[in-house]
Amino acid sequence: MVIYGKNAVSEALRAGQAQRVLLALGLQPRTVRELTDLAKPVGVPLEFVPRIDLDRLLRTTSHQGIAAEVPDPHYANTEAPWRLAEERDEELLLVTLDHISDPRNLGAIIRTAEALGAHGVVTEERRAAKLTATVMKCSAGAIWYLPLIQVKNLPRYLQELKERGVWIYGAAPDGDKVASEVDWRRRAALVIGSEGSGLRRLVRDSCDELIRIPLRGKLAALNASVATGILVHSVLWWRQQQEEKQSG
């Protein structure tokens, strides 16, 4: 696969995933130096090409003059988030997605989940955007650091999580509680639906509780990646406050 954009390529180099880097002729010297510093230690060659060649290769002009060949991305084993939580000595926090089909949204959610400290992102095989170059660009390289899980049937997977002691919280405008009212000292999975249709009935019925984000403006809903960021931050902030109270 060929990915593009400075952040995505830089993180691919840091993660040891880039196999070859393509740079447009005329790129700013500072950018070239930064990428050279990342590529040289891992022995990845830099190749300078006319910008129009990148336009044709990537079928877009929004590549910032930077692209890289990387292995095709793959999904992690379903146990990977559990291992990550154990390594960090934290209670599991998953972000599960119901019908997020926009690759830009998916990439942004992965980036947000990784940056804030979630342990994995889960999508359904037939109702989600695939791991394309657009997803990788919008994730800004987070795709290399966070376990991404794909399941065949999301409601069934949620039931399996419940059997392992995970509480399932669906994000819905009519949720009974706001995030700050929930006891997050437990393994948890946040379920985020699409902006258009929200959570499917079977997914909604699989949730232990529905939670909402209080809105004060005239708009009734948030972008899925924004909602994810607010909820993940709320969970981890709540947990941090409890730890400080116990240690203080």
Rounded to an integer, what distance in angstroms lies between the CA atom of residue 161 and that of residue 72?
28
Which one of 16, 47, 69 terminates a domain? 69
As beta bridge partners, residue 22 has 47, 67
Which one of 50, 69, 88 terminates a domain? 69
At 32 the pLDDT is: 95
Rounded to an integer, what distance in angstroms lies between the CA atom of residue 225 and that of residue 106?
7
Rounded to an integer, what distance in angstroms lies between the CA atom of residue 186 and that of residue 243?
13
User: 238 and 115, same structural domain?
Assistant: yes
- CA–centroid distance for 18 within its chain: 20
The pair phi, psi for residue 142, each rounded to 5°, is -65, -20
At 140 the pLDDT is: 86
* CATH assignment at residue 51: 3.30.1330.30
Say which amino acid occupies 137. Answer: K
User: 116 and 33, same structural domain?
Assistant: no
User: 118 and 53, same structural domain?
Assistant: no
Which pair of structure tokens corresponds to residue 196?
A: 């258009």
User: 206 and 123, same structural domain?
Assistant: yes
User: 61 and 133, same structural domain?
Assistant: no
Is residue 168 within 8 A of residue 202, CB to CB? The reply is no
- 88 is a domain residue: yes
Question: Which residue segment(s) compose the domain that 239 sits in?
Answer: 80-247
User: 90 and 51, same structural domain?
Assistant: no
pTM, two decimal places: 0.89
- CA–centroid distance for 86 within its chain: 20
Query: Any residues with CB less than 8 A from the CB of 109 and at least 6 apart, and which?
Result: 95, 97, 100, 121, 192, 224, 225, 228
User: 116 and 21, same structural domain?
Assistant: no
Sign, CA dihedral 235-113-108-140, equals: positive
- 74 is a domain residue: no
* CATH assignment at residue 168: 3.40.1280.10
At 248 the pLDDT is: 65
User: 153 and 110, same structural domain?
Assistant: yes
pLDDT tens for the chain, 248 residues: list them.
899 999 989 999 998 999 999 999 999 999 999 999 999 999 999 999 999 999 999 888 989 999 999 998 889 999 999 999 999 999 999 999 999 999 999 999 999 999 999 999 999 998 889 999 889 889 988 999 999 999 999 999 999 999 999 999 999 988 999 988 999 999 999 999 987 788 999 999 999 999 999 888 877 678 899 999 999 999 999 999 988 888 76
User: 196 and 128, same structural domain?
Assistant: yes
